[in-house]
Amino acid sequence: MGFKEYLSNINIFIIFDLLAAAAVGVVIFTFFYRKNSVRLAVIVGGVFLLYLAVSVLNAFFGILYIAKAAALFVIFFMSLIVAVAYQSEFKSMLARIGKPLEHEQSYRSSDDELLKTVSEIVKAAQKCSKNDIGALIVFTQTALPEIIINSGVILNAVISAPLIESIFNKYCPLHDGALIIKGNRLIAAGCFLQISQEVKLDKELGTRHRAAIGITEIRPDVLAVVVSEETGIISIARKGQIKRYITSEILQQELEAFYGITRIPFLAERPRRK
């Protein structure tokens, strides 16, 4: 069916087809809007509408062949520009659907084991904060994409405060990357993360903070803890947002909530003597 016949035989299927195309346009515009690139979205949309108008005129009147070819070339050229300009965003999209590690084991931990893990992590964060040692720890309940894990060194080690501190020691080759923790296992260290491209972030936030925000943008189920190398300030990132000036008590609570640990007050469970 040619374009002329397509427009001349409007039915429910064609209407649905046009609505689907409009939905794709809305998604594309939303993408540019969130990246503060509304002007670029308008330009891309204008070029596409121009191509559509030329195609309609060409279908009904058999003219503007050169204009149609030129508009198609412009669309192709602008697609290349967008692909280059937003390659980091496209990498983030691929990371969302990345294949998890097939060899990563699933570890089941009791609340007591997780409480011990949380305690060790808080101790390590305190020590790093006190000594102005930069750290980036990513906590996940599910497997992360293979591209992230393989960017570092797979360890599969039991978590301990001394181990975490040694990894982030400035003389350790893995100290610049992220530490990936799942359950009570240290999965990998020295991993590279996609840095957030959000332009409204505080200019004081460094690479570690932006990496923490970036991983929580593409994986809302992930929690990231950052210790600033310059100030020793502890921060927590979740769902693309970051909270700074986190105390040890708040860090303990946040990690317990993330792991779903339920504390049972001992005194409340003791039966009263009659």
- Domain assignment present for 245: yes
Of 85, 103, 128, which closes a domain? 85
Annotate 230-249 with b (16+ C-beta within 10 A) or e (fewer). Answer: eeeebbbbbeeebebebeee
Query: Total domain count for the chain?
Result: 2
> What's the confidence (pLDDT) of residue 203?
80
Q: At what angle do helices 207-218 and 87-96 cross, to 10 degrees?
A: 50
Mark whether 132 and 231 lie in a shared domain: yes
Mark whether 81 and 122 lie in a shared domain: no
- Domain assignment present for 205: yes
- Domain assignment present for 56: yes
Mark whether 64 and 172 lie in a shared domain: no
- Domain assignment present for 96: no
> What's the confidence (pLDDT) of residue 85?
66
Mark whether 74 and 121 lie in a shared domain: no
- Domain assignment present for 264: no
What residues make up the domain containing 70? 3-85
Torsion sign (Cα): 68, 73, 77, 83: positive
Q: How confident is the model at residue 101 (pLDDT cuts 50, 70, 90)?
A: very low
- Domain assignment present for 202: yes
Of 70, 85, 100, which closes a domain? 85
Mark whether 138 and 78 lie in a shared domain: no
Query: Mean pLDDT across the chain, nearest whole number?
Result: 80
CA distance 187 to 100: 13
Q: Would you state the structure tokens that stand for residue 52, as one six-digit string?
A: 């559509």
Mark whether 180 and 237 lie in a shared domain: yes
Mark whether 148 and 196 lie in a shared domain: yes
Q: At what angle do helices 87-96 and 65-85 cross, to 10 degrees?
A: 70
**Ordered strands of the 153-158 beta sheet:** 153-158, 185-191, 178-182, 135-140, 223-227, 234-238, 241-243
Mark whether 127 and 81 lie in a shared domain: no
- Domain assignment present for 255: yes
Of 198, 190, 204, 180, give the one whose Cα is nearest residue 239: 198
Mark whether 121 and 174 lie in a shared domain: yes
- CATH assignment at residue 115: 3.40.1700.10
The answer to pTM > 0.75 is no
Q: What is the pLDDT of residues 223-236, one digit of tens each?
A: 999 999 999 999 99
- Domain assignment present for 211: yes
Of 85, 101, 132, which closes a domain? 85
Mark whether 43 and 150 lie in a shared domain: no
Mark whether 50 and 161 lie in a shared domain: no
**Alpha-carbon dihedral angle through residues 247, 248, 254, 257, given to the nearest 10 degrees:** -150
Q: How confident is the model at residue 269 (pLDDT cuts 50, 70, 90)?
A: very low
Mark whether 69 and 171 lie in a shared domain: no
> How many other C-beta atoms lie within 10 A of the C-beta of residue 60?
12
